[in-house]
Structure 1
Amino acid sequence: MRDGDQVMCATYVLRDDASLWWEGAANGVDLATLTWSQFKEILYNKYFPADVRGRLTRELMSLHQGDSIVAEFIRKFDMGCHFVPLIARDVVQKMRCFMDGMRLTLHRDVMLMRPESYDEANACAFQAEQALRDIDMEMQQK
């Protein structure tokens, strides 16, 4: 999809205050040459100023799985990465941050599988979680 089409689709779904804001903001840009990256920068500067981005970065860096299942932890982590591109773009940092937030038993098992990417770490986490469930089920049957 072309940049102009992405911008048009995004602005079409803006509602309420965001729609009114964009009507005013659009007067200050050349819509014919506005790229998707430029649009996101304008939008994020309005709705995610530096202090909010800083808070979101701290939240992502301190995100812990706790009692949630792997799928829920991945969902929260991915959502956080969306707003913290410095981590999301750095594959090593992204995987390290994800691994650091995992429950210790899963972290150990995933490390033993030696994932080389964030996606592999996700798959390993699902496998490790299933293995722990299997062990729990077996213990309950005894």
Structure 2
Amino acid sequence: MYDRFQRLCPKKFFGTTDPFAEGLIQSLEVHFRFLNMGDAGRVWCATYMLRDDASLWWEGAEHGVDLATRTWVQFKNIFYEKYFTADIRERLKREFMTLHRGDTTVAEFVRKFDKGCDFLPRATEAPEKLRHFMDGLRPTIRRDVMMRRPADYAAATAYAFQAEHALKCIDFEMQRKWQQH
């Protein structure tokens, strides 16, 4: 099983305290689900991916820890205390609360929005998630989406992509007509 894990090539972690640390855990969890790996294997594989400063940190952190009984949740808590600290999570939560589409594409906004939902538990509740998503859309796209009265976040996302595409078509047509004159 561990050979298959290595061939999947999850990213190695060198010990930075930033959102990449949380991304590492999420990418590992994708691999673990694919391999149907239990707690002990998860902890072993995660520690195998630690390099440089992170490896040194784990050598110190694992003293007094029974790796045979260490659960994945316990490992994540220890890891997050060091590399995905409360102040980083709080900063990401604030960024999520003020997330607006701005000049980004709907696809980029949706990616940031979905990522941000992890930092604000209430944002995963259907009505709150839909409201927060709608509030972050650019007004022209929000108007188009609201007119279709989406029932949920998935529908609102689909409508936002459609509205963005329609606006691009309108912009293209206007530029074409302007260049003809």
User: TM-score normalized by structure 2?
Assistant: 0.66
2:113/2:133 contact within 8 Å kept: yes
1:56 aligns with 2:92: yes
Q: Distance in 2 between matches of 1:44 and 1:121?
A: 33
How far residue 61 of structure 1 moved from its aligned partner, in angstroms, is 0.5
Which deviates more from structure 2 when the two are superposed, residues 111-120 or residues 48-57?
111-120
Q: What is the letter of the counterpart of residue 56 of structure 1?
A: L
Q: Distance in 1 between matches of 2:146 and 2:128?
A: 15
How far residue 133 of structure 1 moved from its aligned partner, in angstroms, is 1.0
State the Cα deviation string for residues 40-87 of structure 1 (Å, max 9, x = none): 2221122232222222111110011111111111222233334x1524
Greater Rg over alpha carbons, structure: 2
Q: Within 5 Å, give how 1:1-142 maps onto structure 2.
A: 1=36, 2-82=38-118, 84=119, 86-87=121-122, 89-142=124-177
Q: What is the letter of the counterpart of residue 99 of structure 1?
A: M
Distance 1:96 1:45, change over 3 A: farther
Percent identity (aligned):
62
Q: Distance in 2 between matches of 1:116 and 1:32?
A: 47
2:93/2:120 contact within 8 Å kept: no
User: TM-score normalized by structure 1?
Assistant: 0.81
- Per the alignment, residue 19 of structure 2 pairs with none
Q: What is the letter of the counterpart of residue 19 of structure 1?
A: S
